[in-house]
Structure 1
């Protein structure tokens, strides 16, 4: 196994080595994290609506834990499908205005197993080049042909659709909001191409669910396209502040996934306490509109402040705000200096992003105050000058 040591050394030389670091929530201080005894403003979490430490969600989980125990004990197709699953899935389907829904253990398992349930050898998947790794791995597992189109380049996608128009099944799949860039997929154009070429369309709302739509349904609803999407996937681990994932669609789609989605069939069901927490979080996502409003306002403030400071920040309306540094080592140094100043913001490097685009990925929460974000941007600006990312 000597080769492992050599490969790890090579990764370290390229500033690409990853390590695990301990973090912990700060009681009664949402929007912060504790690391090495230091309380840090958490600008790295996906807890977009600030629900991860909500006392009502925690209490609902505690109550269910005491009643039904720690685990579900089996897969959903054996004995793990408690009655709380049916109530949650009915609520999710009503929220998404779909016929049915299905809960999965997490987003990675949902994407990887849904894609491989829908397509196989002789089929083709059209996937944006910046789609999440779970989508890429789902295509690989499916054994379908993988036709990757340039990021948000619908003309390139059209060329590929023409090339493969005679394939048995065609699936277009995209993130709604891209996790490392914070920009939107061109969903209207994708719907048009889906209809023109007789393809299926799957949209991953992991980073847009909870934040878009009148009740947090996601970007598809915000654009009025929900009835044009064949497979609507989202997660509970981000805006919901809990854990898990869901797929919404037709009754026949859900029946098919129950029979063919391997991650559902061969995985132990989520514990009852977690289903209770998700159900409670769904209520807050639907009703506490002020969280979306604050997040949108905070995102605009943070973006504009960094742009005015001289950083190249792309326009957008999401809480994912990448600051492109370029060099891997420089991105790591930027992150380390931010931590010294009391800010948690992670350096994102290849293969999570394309080579030469290492960045600090800032991710905001409704739990952050305006003053906290103003102070943070001042600190980021100082470090930008210190590292030469900004020029005087």
Structure 2
């Protein structure tokens, strides 16, 4: 008789979970660009706390005060008994920050995207970038709409699919604002034109760009000057806001509809008080301290420039997500281990998250990374890359010439 428990990990995952230092489920104690892993202090380059706010005393103090006032949990869903004044205050603040009519906060960012599902009805068509986050993929799968995926950032492919669907069907285009694997920004200007031309709603997941991009940190829409072109945005407090939780912001009628129909909202315990208070405090810092964004982009520029000078391929990213393309899965794993051995903790991305043979090391850089951290990151990649033959060996210094006897005598 078959056993439903008789499942095995894929060969790639078995490689990533075997003996020795592995990149998955590592216990990490970290703050301000560094971490303690296995008793060793390393540079943390795998944390999405881009602005370094999770350790900011204003944020942690706000969280502690919320615990003192409200306890550690609401112990109920937002629908019944789990809504605090903090949640409502955070929703108003997020909506105002993003220039939207209303917002609703969720317990995680993943659940914020799942909350889109009631919008995907029978007869509707949803167009998704193939590189969208798994939570957007799950949301579409859970709905009843027809799903059509277009090649990553391929606007021609998207337009052909939109033309084929023109007619009576209600349409939505959904995309990540900043793609988290390789640090690409979505082609929002072209997406906005196509959405208008074909009568589609445009939804952007700002998980990695809200707080980071744009003059005021309002994300990819502000970055492109297209705040009025995005119909609905989703996001998370677990990146730039140094907390946990998610949100949706858009037209008041739509948010009201989702508040009473989204299963990921009404059938889960609400966002903890400490997390809501931390997100509120972080939002104030984001607004008041744009220099944090300036710093993290400067850190990224210096790391990216240094890696390229060493001979690494860092792709096209211009954001604090810096991919280092390695290739074959086994070599990618070895490179990750060697970089860790040199004192830098990174993320490894292999198939199926990327195409087979296109594995990469992903760096997530922070405003709290110091000049010393930058030097240590570059030193680690230089040493590891040379040991594995991924970059050219260090040039040999020219041998010192012996001083001629007359010159030596003159010096003495």
Look up the SS of the partner of 1:7 in the other structure: coil
CA deviation string 1:148-196 (max 9, x = no partner): 1111110110000011112522110000110001011100000000000
- Report if the CA contact (8 A) 1:235-1:245 is conserved: yes
SS in 2 for 1:174: strand
Q: Which residue of 2 is the match for residue 51 of structure 1?
A: 53
TM-score where L is the length of structure 2: 0.90
Deviates more, 1:192-201 or 1:331-340: 331-340
Would the alpha carbon gap of residues 12 and 348 (structure 1) be closer, same or farther in structure 2, given more than 3 Å must change?
A: closer
Corresponding position of 1:100: 102
Work out the CA distance in 1 between the residues paired with 2:143 and 2:337: 40
Unaligned runs of 5+ in 2: 394-412
Structure 1, residues 99-129: CA drift from partner, whole Å, max 9, x if none? 1111111111111221x12112221111111
Q: Distance in 2 between matches of 1:288 and 1:64?
A: 23
Instruction: Show the counterpart of 1:201.
Output: 202
Give CA-to-partner distance per residue, 1:187-214, whole Å, 9 cap, x none: 0000000000000110011111111122
Q: Secondary structure at the match of 1:200?
A: strand
Instruction: Work out whether residues 106 and 244 of structure 1, in 8 Å CA contact, stay in contact via their aligned partners in 2.
Output: yes
Corresponding residue number in structure 2 for 1:220: 221
Extract structure 1 runs of 4+ deviating beyond 4 A: 1-6, 11-19
Q: Structure 1 pair 278/306, CA: closer, same or farther in 2 (3 Å)?
A: same
| CA distance in 2: counterparts of 1:100 and 1:195, whole angstroms | 22
In angstroms, what is the RMSD of aligned CA positions? 1.8
Q: Does 1:85 align with 2:90?
A: no
Structure 1 window deviating more from structure 2 (11-20 vs 226-235): it is 11-20
**Which residue of 2 is the match for residue 147 of structure 1?**
148
Whether 1:350 and 2:337 are equivalent positions in the alignment is no
- 1:90: Cα distance to partner? 1.1
Q: CA deviation at 1:15?
A: 5.0
Q: In the alignment, what sits opposite 1:312?
A: 313
* TM-score, length-scaled by structure 1: 0.95
Aligned-partner SS, 2:35: strand
Aligned to 1:21, which of 15, 26, 37? 26
1:370 Cα shift? 2.1
2:402 aligned partner: none
Aligned mates of 2:195, 2:297 — CA distance in 1: 30
Q: Render the CA deviation track for 1:4-59: whole Å, top value 9, x for unaligned.
A: 6662374456657785221112xxx5111111111110000001000111111111
Q: Secondary structure at the match of 1:248?
A: strand
Highest CA radius of gyration, 1 or 2? 2
**Once structures 1 and 2 are overlaid, which stretch shifts more, 12-21 or 119-128?**
12-21
Native 8 Å contact 2:43 2:376 kept in 1:
no
Contact residue 176 and residue 219 of structure 1 kept, 8 A: yes
Deviations 1:250-306 (A, max 9, x none): 111111111221101111111222211111111011111110000111111111111
Is this contact kept in 2: 1:123–1:167, CA < 8 A?
A: no
Match of 1:33 in 2: 35
